[in-house]
């Protein structure tokens, strides 16, 4: 999972971001600029992640850390001008910060497929998942789901529905199963379990 802010440093085109602005998936960024993601031997691009060391997304982006992928095979053009390239990436992060980071330090990360359709939406605060995380799978086994997080831990309802008719609902508290967990399988069979602080209540099983 790529961290906000993510971008690609390109030998010719400079710092590249996703045209939607709120997407930080390197594969999607490359695809949106029609760049082949398979041939690393040419090394015309380098994947970068720019993020604050203390997870304070309201801090000055010029002080943020830069993480580089594939460090063992970095091209010469990047190594020769690394400081300048990383600072340009920080400047791009500053633009993203001004548009997408809210006053409480929260922000949203959206991923898209090659056709521009949304496949998941994640909400963060201070670098941790916080709020709703919703996803869609667009294939023959298509599914939809939504979960809730608080400070990086699952907290609240976790629901999913599959195109084959199966579905389920879990409940979490502070990252642990807590409350009712019910599901229906594609063949119509179903079950219910109850948890407290991550532990199954043995007298509340129906499966």
| Token representation of residue 158 | 């976790």
Residue 1 lies in a domain: no
Domain co-membership, 174 together with 87: no
Q: Whose CA is closest to 61, among 18, 107, 29?
A: 107
Number of domain units in the chain = 2
pLDDT tens digits, 44-69:
999 999 999 888 999 999 999 999 98
Check: CB of residue 94 under 8 Å from CB of residue 61: yes
Residue 152 lies in a domain: yes
Domain co-membership, 19 together with 94: yes
Which of 71, 100, 129 is at the close of a domain? 100
Provide the residue range defining the domain that includes 71.
6-100
Q: Kindly tell me if the per-residue pLDDT of 182 is higher than 70.
A: yes
Quote the pLDDT of residue 46: 94
Quote the pLDDT of residue 111: 86
- % of the chain at pLDDT higher than 90: 68
| Token representation of residue 91 | 């400047």
Which residue would you say has higher pLDDT here, 139 or 8? 8
Domain co-membership, 96 together with 111: no
Distance CA 34, CA 27 (A): 10
CA 151 to mean position of chain CA atoms: 15
- The DSSP element (H or E) to which 26 belongs, if any, is helix 26-32
Contacts of 150 (CB under 8 A, 6+ apart): 130, 156, 174
> Average of pLDDT values for 101-123?
89
Q: Kindly tell me if the per-residue pLDDT of 91 is higher than 70.
A: yes
pLDDT tens digits, 141-153:
678 999 999 999 9
């Amino acid at each position: 999972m790529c961290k906000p802010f993510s971008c690609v440093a390109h030998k010719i085109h400079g710092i590249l971001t996703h045209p939607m602005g709120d997407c930080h998936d390197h594969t999607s960024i490359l695809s949106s600029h029609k760049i082949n993601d398979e041939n690393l031997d040419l090394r015309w691009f380098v994947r970068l992640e720019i993020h604050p060391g203390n997870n304070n997304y309201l801090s000055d982006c010029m002080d943020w850390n830069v993480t580089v992928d594939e460090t063992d095979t970095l091209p010469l053009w990047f190594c020769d001008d690394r400081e300048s390239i990383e600072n340009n990436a920080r400047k791009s992060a500053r633009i993203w910060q001004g548009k997408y980071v809210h006053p409480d330090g929260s922000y949203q990360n959206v991923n898209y497929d090659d056709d521009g359709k949304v496949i998941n939406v994640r909400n963060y605060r201070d670098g941790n998942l916080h709020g709703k995380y919703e996803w869609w799978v667009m294939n023959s086994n298509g599914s939809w789901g939504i979960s809730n997080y608080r400070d990086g831990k699952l907290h609240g309802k976790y629901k999913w529905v599959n195109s084959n008719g199966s579905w389920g609902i879990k409940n979490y508290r502070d990252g642990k199963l807590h409350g009712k967990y019910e599901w229906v399988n594609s063949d119509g069979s179903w079950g219910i379990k109850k948890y407290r602080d991550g532990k199954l209540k043995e007298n509340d099983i129906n499966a």
